[in-house]
A and B are shown apart, each in its own frame.
Chain A
Amino acid sequence: AQSVSQHNHHVILSEAASLELGCNYSYGGTVNLFWYVQYPGQHLQLLLKYFSGDPLVKGIKGFEAEFIKSKFSFNLRKPSVQWSDTAEYFCAVSTYNFNKFYFGSGTKLNVKP
């Protein structure tokens, strides 16, 4: 069965620090990869997605992620975080037909001003 692992459950950073959140998945076939963000009290919002092509994808709010097929990884990065980035971040995988998502357990990011 497919699974998604997020290694960092809780990350605390100061403003302007760089961010990298790890995500690994287990699935042998073609996958589509996503990062979602959930701000406190709000719905899940899409940050970025990878379907094919350039493995370095850029999303909203200065986030980017790199797909490394050989490592089954899709890590999220941001060069300089802001207090407003405080939220929970979920990595998700869908199979080629997009019918459902498999989510990681999430990483809570707390950015201190």
Chain B
Amino acid sequence: DAGVTQSPTHLIKTRGQQVTLRCSPKSGHDTVSWYQQALGQGPQFIFQYYEEEERQRGNFPDRFSGHQFPNYSSELNVNALLLGDSALYLCASSKGLGNNYGYTFGSGTRLTVV
């Protein structure tokens, strides 16, 4: 059990559609980060949320947006899906900003865009 829960585990969407992925952090964690892991590549940082605000962002277009709720859970939204958005999307949680205490990854959501 990773402690970080992501849903759904698998998803198939059509090009041009929008998708929402969800993440519940490990108990006691308040910071959520999202990563995209394309096939054959390492995870790439999308953005990080803390205190319901986006604190850091990687090199991803504005089609990628997110939200963090008061209970620390988070959503990743992708608009106007492209075939190249097909990937495993990983959520990671940690406690506080600026430290790596207990940084924990979820098992991911496998998104396939057709």
Contact = CB atoms under 8 A, between A and B. Distances in A.
A103 B103 contact: no
B98 A43 contact: no
A106 B55 contact: no
A44 B56 contact: no
B106 A99 contact: no
Interface residues of B, number: 25
Contacts of A104: 42
Given A49-B100, A97-B98, A98-B100, A43 B2 contact: yes
Interface in A54-113: 90, 92, 94, 97-106
B25 interface: no
A102 B108 CA distance: 18
Contact of A100 (B56, B105, B107, B108): B56
Interface string B25-69: 000000001010000111111001000000110100000000000
Interface of A: 4, 6, 32, 36, 42-46, 49, 90, 92, 94, 97-106
Interface of B: 2, 4, 33, 35, 40-45, 48, 55-56, 58, 90, 94, 97-100, 103, 105-108
13 contacts: A4-B42, A6-B42, A42-B107, A43-B106, A43-B107, A90-B42, A98-B98, A98-B100, A100-B33, A100-B48, A100-B56, A105-B42, A106-B42
